[in-house]
Amino acid sequence: MTMIDHGDTYSGTRKGDPGKSLEEIWATPTGFRRFSSVSHRVVGKRFIYTGFVFFLIAGFLALLVRTQLIVPGNTFLDNETYNQVFTMHGTLMMFLFAIPILEGFAIYLIPMMLGARDLIFPRLGQFSYYCYLFGGIIVLSSFLFDAAPDGGWFMYVPLSTNAFTSGLSADFWLIGITFAEIASVTAAVELIAAILCARAPGMSLTKMPIFAWYMLVTAFMIAIGFPPLIIGSILLEANRLLGLPFFDPTLGGDPLLWQHLFWLFGHPEVYIIFLPAAGMVATILPTFVGKPLFGYGFVVAAVVSMGFISFGLWAHHMFTTGLPILSLSLFSAASTMVAVPTGVQIFAFIATLAQGKVRLTTPMLFVLGFLFIFVLGGLTGVMLASVPFNWQAHDSYFVVAHLHYVLIGGMVFPLFGAFYYWAPSITGRMLSERLGKWVFWLMFIGFNTTFLLMHVTGLRGMPRRIATYPEGIGWDRLNLLSSLGSYILAAGVALFVFDFVRHLKRGPLAGRDPWGAGTMEWLYPTVAVGFNFHAIPPVSSCEPLWDHPHLLDNHAHEVDGMLARLNDGRRETIGCDPVSGTPIQILRLPHPSFVPMFTAFALAVAFAATLASAYWVALGGIAVSLFGFAIWAWEPSDSGVTRDAGLGHVLPVNIVEKRSHMHIAVVGTMLVLYALFASLLFAILYLWNVYPTFAARTGEPMIFWTVLAGLAGVVLIGSGMVNRRVALADRIGIAVFCNIAVALVSAGSALCLALAIVDTDPWGTALGATMWAVVAFVAANLFVTLFWALFNCARKVAGCVGAGQCLPDYNLATYAKGTGAMVTITAALFLAGALGGLQ
């Protein structure tokens, strides 16, 4: 049953105020309540500013490193402090600066570029930010307890085990970084759903701004690439806290398992960092050339190809670990192959430059600096892809130089260009062009002075991660010049900070579309209200402001589009078909709330309590966070109403089908969960293959309970399918019984899996410990399924669900089928082990 409502009232259980203007409905809270804001503009800025603070801290630590190495035999830092400084420098740069600040720009820009009033899961964005902030605080607080990590930003095993790193230093790294990674994957799911489901009418995938394509591929890469590190960190922390022998060779473990899991994340991360920055270049460059990006379709194909190829070369960093020659050849070929899609993008950028006359503004200078530096870094990357050369240069300063040419050239220079380009949108004022050019040249000269010479230092044999070196072996002058270059680079960054702070008060006010860009983030005045569009205009090209200049000719309030006259007193935007961009629904968005911050803080307490071995407090934090999630999700789904959305479209609110934004988000979440699950299965199969003799010492799974678990998984899949049909039929009474059935089958599946390996000692062998880790992970997902099912029942019994509001049941069905498949796969793996005697 669908309610047709042509008035201005809201038919859900939580009513809006139709008498309020859009400005009042979308207003950003003031004072302390500003912390409850869920606006993508506010959350995006918080990511950007926080990430830049971490960048400054990491840069200061880098200066300490270069000061220590400025002369031979320097005693400025002792060995232990030096190890802590370079470890925290790399950790902050890789985990707390690069990815979060790029996600922050995406959260800020994507809705405006795509023609949406906000992200479609604003509270998820707020939750993601606070997880990131609290995770970063946990990592940095290690300095306060004199327990800063000192095992390198890669935390290699066995150096990071209790045998070699006592105390809490490694625990601060593992727990803080894992918490921060949760922020990255939740933001990735949010971006996937927002890009696919909330675009302007007519904006098909082939008409999206190129930055949206870059971020869509990046978000999928984060969803798949970050879980191996999360699993590796959890296994290593379990090794340290519980003594589980995942990496102990005497019990069938393997230190190389950590490297495999780490670099399954670590090498795709290089491209996860590069792609958003390249997307910024692809957006900025056409603006100052005055021509569209050359080869749009080829660039999109190159970006998608790079996303796939990047997952096939993680052992690029493991050439000296004793892998078989055949494996080295395959990974070497993959490492070389990734240069092809990279070259396509660089060629497209150069061809775009050749199409018109370039305006040498500050953002454009940083784009040109990116092209010069990144190409040099790519050339040394091809050199390191050659196994014989890699054997010679591995762990030398040649690799340090290559890494920084790729990451600073490929990410930091575009990022600073983005600051100058989008500052008018972020602050409403223009940064200084004169100071900006000084910033660029100081950074460009300082960077190349610092890192170009490191190639020579490395070829002369200087290894990485040494606190000092003897005099007279050919490294003295090179290190002196590199250190002086680092001070010049730091001076450029300091001048940018001065310029940014100065411009907040004294910078010229920015006009509408001050650069003459073609993308829609410039449609509204730079100092805008809390939402992006009074009316969402139809789009028929990648540069709508160039192809439809009348959009800028009119006042922003006079643009003709959808939702122009629809005001339910709620925050709303248009939802589209993921492929064609055809409007298919009206998305109702939540108002500001403290609940996501409260939930993230409860999780932070749980993580911090684990660090302090206060396990009851940790359990309490998890329980409170579940309560927070329940409050968060208690509001009605708002489906069941159909409205006139304008431009001839009569649309339902929050549709219940495969194209629903919630369904896309659940599928994205399952992608993350299956990447975590696959990482655990990889660990089992790796240990099973590398140390088969220990398999015989591992207790075999009990066949009866294993088969029963597999059957329970199949039943759970079936229950999900039935639940989905019931949801589509909108049968609320039957849905209660279906949800109870899903809950019971979930509990039974977890019990059967546990009984199947009850005789397996997790401390006896690494394989046994990994089997229990898989069961624990699947059981956690089964608990979520059970909790979700009972939660849906509670909402129905409480009368919070009306006709047509069955979206939670539809989404639970998708999750239950995915969890049931996990149970079935696990049972099949255990059954194969049991029948084969684990040999």
Q: Evaluate whether 749 touches 823 at the Cβ level (below 8 Å).
A: yes
pTM above 0.85, yes or no: yes
Contacts of 539 (CB under 8 A, 6+ apart): 115, 199, 200, 201, 202, 203, 207, 520, 581
Identify the weakest region by mean pLDDT among 298-302, 538-542, 802-806, 817-821: 802-806
Cα–Cα dist 152/679, whole Å: 23
The pLDDT score that the predictor gives to residue 526 is 64
Cβ(382)–Cβ(316) below 8 Å:
no
Task: Answer yes or no: is pLDDT of 805 > 90.
Answer: no
Residue 581 and residue 203 in contact, taking contact as beta carbons nearer than 8 Å: yes
pLDDT of amino acid 647:
85
Question: Which two three-digit tokens encode residue 49?
Answer: 């500013």
Q: What per-residue confidence (pLDDT) applies to 14? A: 44
Looking up tokens 């999360």, which residue turns up? 230
List beta partners, residue 588: 572
Q: Is the pLDDT of residue 5 over 70?
A: no
**Spatial distance between the Cα atoms of 16 and 243, rounded to a whole number of angstroms:** 54
Instruction: Write out pLDDT tens, residues 372-392.
Output: 999 999 999 999 999 999 999
Q: Is 210 helix (H, G, I), strand (E, B) or coil?
A: helix
Is the pLDDT at 210 greater than 80? The verdict is: yes
> Contact, 277 vs 411, CB < 8 A?
yes
3-state secondary structure of 617: helix
Least reliable range by pLDDT among 218-227, 599-608, 749-758, 788-797: 788-797
Q: 642 phi and psi, to 5 degrees?
A: -120, 135
How confident is the model at residue 657, as a pLDDT? 85
Give the pLDDT of residue 655: 87
Report the range of poorest mean pLDDT among 192-196, 349-353, 699-703. 699-703
Render 383-439 in DSSP notation, one character per residue.
Answer: HHTSHHHHHHHTTBHHHHHHHHHHHIIIIIHHHHHHHHHHHHHHHSBPPPHHHHHHH
pLDDT score recorded for residue 739: 86
Q: Which segments of 605-756 are extended strands (E)? A: 641-646, 649-652
CA 561, CA 539: separation in Å to the nearest integer?
Answer: 10
- Residue 429 and residue 285: Cα distance in Å, rounded? 21
Residue 360 reports pLDDT greater than 80: yes
Contact 10, 16 (CB under 8 A): yes
Which residues 6+ apart lie within 8 Å of 326 measured at CB?
none
pLDDT at 9 over 50: no
Residue-level pLDDT at 11: 32
For residue 12, the model assigns a pLDDT of: 34
Q: Residue 113's pLDDT band (boundaries 50, 70, 90)? A: very high
CB burial of residue 117 (10 Å; 0-12, 13-18, 19+) = buried
Give the C-alpha separation, 50 to 131, whole Å. 12
Distance CA(803)–CA(637), nearest Å, equals 11
How far are the Cα atoms of 73, 76, 781 from residue 472, in angstroms, in the given order? 11, 20, 60
pLDDT-derived band at 809, boundaries 50, 70, 90: confident
Q: What pLDDT shows up at residue 2?
A: 36
Greatest mean pLDDT range, 423-437, 562-576, 630-644:
423-437
Tens of pLDDT, residue by residue over 32-43, are 998 999 999 999
Average confidence (pLDDT) over 350-355: 95
Reduced to 3 DSSP states, what percent helix, strand and coil does the chain have, rounded to the nearest 5?
Answer: 65, 5, 30
Confidence band for 106, pLDDT divided at 50, 70 and 90: very high
Helix axes 210-242, 255-289, angle to 10 degrees: 160
Residue 803 confidence class, pLDDT cut points 50, 70, 90: low
Distance CA 41, CA 114 (A): 14
Question: In whole angstroms, how far apart are CA 553 and each of 218, 323, 545, 559?
Answer: 35, 63, 10, 9
Query: Hey, what's the torsion of the CAs at 700, 702, 705, 707, to 10 degrees?
Result: 70
Residues 6+ apart with CB under 8 A from 173: 87, 91, 139, 142, 149, 151, 155, 160
Least Cα distance to 756 among 712, 812, 795 occurs for 712
601 Cβ contact partners less than 8 Å away, ≥ 6 residues apart: 130, 134
Residue 18 clears pLDDT 70, i.e. is over it: no
Kindly report the number of other CB atoms within 10 A of residue 830's CB atom. Answer: 28
Task: Tell me the three state secondary structure of residue 152.
Answer: coil
Taking only the tens place, the pLDDT of each residue in 702-742 is 999 999 999 999 999 998 898 888 877 767 778 888 889 99
Confidence of residue 17 (pLDDT cuts 50, 70, 90): low
Query: At 599, phi and psi to the nearest 5?
Result: -65, -45
Give the Cα separation of 363 and 420 in Å (integer). 6
- Token readout for 389 is 């050369």
The whole-number pLDDT of residue 393 equals 94
What mean pLDDT do residues 261-276 have? 94
Per the listing, tokens 């239950």 go with 816
Q: Please tell me the predicted confidence (pLDDT) of residue 352.
A: 96
Is the Cα torsion angle 622, 623, 624, 630 positive or negative in sign?
positive
In whole angstroms, what is the distance from residue 238 CA to residue 769 CA?
10
In this structure, the strands spanning 649-652 and 641-646 are: antiparallel
Residue with tokens 């405006």: 112
Residue 344 has pLDDT above 90, yes or no: yes
Task: Tell me the CA end-to-end span of the chain in Å, nearest whole number.
Answer: 58
Q: Which amino acid is at 526?
A: T
Mean pLDDT calculated for residue range 111-115: 94
pLDDT reported for residue 552: 80
| Res 557: pLDDT | 59
Higher pLDDT, 10 or 317: 317
The secondary structure of 473-511 as a DSSP string is SS-HHHHHHHHHHHHHHHHHHHHHHHHHHHHHHHSPBP-
**Statement: residue 620 has pLDDT above 70:** yes
Percent of the chain with pLDDT over 90: 74
50: which 2 tokens? 């926080």
Q: Long-range contacts: 779-782, Cβ < 8 Å, 24+?
A: 779/750, 779/753, 779/754, 781/673, 781/819, 781/822, 782/746, 782/747, 782/749, 782/750, 782/819, 782/823
What is the CB neighbour count within 10 angstroms for residue 502? Answer: 14
Cα distances (Å, whole numbers) of residue 165 to 161, 170, 242, 243, 483: 6, 7, 15, 14, 30
The b-or-e profile of 355-393 (16+ CB within 10 A means b, else e) is eeebeebbbbbbbbbbbebbbbbbebbeebbebeebeeb
Beta-carbon count within 10 A of 329 CB:
11
Alpha-carbon dihedral 820, 824, 826, 832, rounded to 10 degrees: 180
642 vs 8, 118, 836, CA distance in Å? 12, 21, 58
Read off the pLDDT of residues 233-254 as tens digits, 9 standing for 90 and up.
999 999 999 999 999 999 999 9
Q: Is the pLDDT of residue 800 over 80?
A: no
What number is the average pLDDT over the span 493-498?
A: 98
* pLDDT over threshold 70, residue 637: no
